[in-house]
Amino acid sequence: MTEKHIVLEDIDPVTFYGVGNVHLQMLRSLYPKLRVVARDNVIRVLGDEEQMAAFEETTEKIRQHVLRFNALKDEDILDIVKGRKRDEVPDDVVCYSMSGRAIKARTKNQQRLIEAYDQNDMIFAVGPAGTGKTYLSIALAVKALKEKTAKKIILSRPAVEAGEKLGFLPGDMKDKIDPYLQPLYDALEDMLPQVKLQDMMEKHVIQIAPLAFMRGRTLSDAVVILDEAQNTTPAQIRMFLTRMGWNTKMIITGDMTQIDLPRSTKSGLIEALHILNNIEGIGVVNLDRSDIVRHKLVTRIVNAYEAFDKEREEYPEIENK
């Protein structure tokens, strides 16, 4: 009797096994000459050597399906076992969420962001809240990781509120910067299994790199995302942009309407866009109110604040009311 251990790498075993192990039960019924026992992400198989080879091949195809789509249905298993042609990922889909939802551009400017990523090594995505610039950037990074065109994802975001007091906060670097990187974590958790995400962070495949600690590093074989770049100083963003190494993509996102720097400090993002305009290899995508994909009230709120800002510029006395 032959015995083999199959490790389910890079996927959530719960998705593979199904609720109540329903998918595992189906596989057992399809391969009756085998004894299949699963624990965590390891499947122990005993029995007929010929069926075991077929089972191993089927398991790998199912694993690839889960890795690609983050979902698995009974009919998917049957199609794989029967050798029926499986649906490929549509060209317009970046990746799939943990619920199996296709993540793709929902507006023309979001599509321009995807195209700019394909055509350039450095991309600036600028626009108001809710335009999907950060979420789509994370999706592009996750896709690169899954397709092995990048070896790691590096996330950075200026912690303006903490200023120079970061070092006095309790915990390690990750603990100190976590509150400022939560939007990036939220997106990652929507696209990667929780256990796998934790493992990637422990192995530094996904890295937390606070802006204050980036100096001196060379970032290679990575997708590097700088979020909320409007809150960087000119010196900070210059330092960040020059960290770029071989086989690296950089995505810099920002919202010019949410600059939290002191009034006397110029935004590094504004300066960088002016200096780096029309440089080959750098793409700039401007998103606007038409790209807002959150609740419809977000668009109305953005419109209201833009109208207020315009009125305040025309009538400065409003500031004192």
Per DSSP, 290 falls in state G
Cα–Cα separations (whole angstroms), residue 214 to 112, 181, 308: 29, 15, 37
Tokens of 98: 């943990």
Q: What does the pLDDT average to over 141-153? A: 93
Distance CA 225, CA 22 (A): 39
Q: What does the pLDDT average to over 1-15? A: 85
Please list, in sequence order, all residues whose beta carbon lies within 8 angstroms of the beta carbon of residue 237, skipping any fewer than 6 positions away.
226, 229, 252, 268, 269, 271, 272
Q: What does the pLDDT average to over 36-54? A: 89
Cα–Cα separations (whole angstroms), residue 90 to 67, 100, 185: 15, 14, 26
Instruction: Give per-residue pLDDT as tens, 267-320.
Output: 999 999 999 988 999 999 999 888 877 666 777 787 788 778 777 766 655 555
Total-model pTM: 0.77
Q: Given the DSSP bridges, would you call strands 249-254 and 122-126 parallel, antiparallel or unpaired?
A: parallel
Look up tokens 């694993």; give the residue.
Answer: 63
Residue pair 102/261 in contact by the 8 Å Cβ criterion: no
Element (H, E) at 115: helix 108-119
Question: What pLDDT, on a 0 to 100 scale, did the predictor assign at position 309?
Answer: 76
Distance CA 169, CA 155 (A): 20
Element (H, E) at 279: none
Q: Which of 130, 138, 227 is nearest to 181 (CA)?
A: 227
Instruction: Give per-residue pLDDT as tens, 162-175.
Output: 444 555 555 665 56
Instruction: Give per-residue pLDDT as tens, 221-234.
Output: 999 999 999 999 99
Question: What pLDDT, on a 0 to 100 scale, did the predictor assign at position 217?
Answer: 85
Q: Phi first, then psi: what are they for 38, rounded to 5°?
A: -120, 140
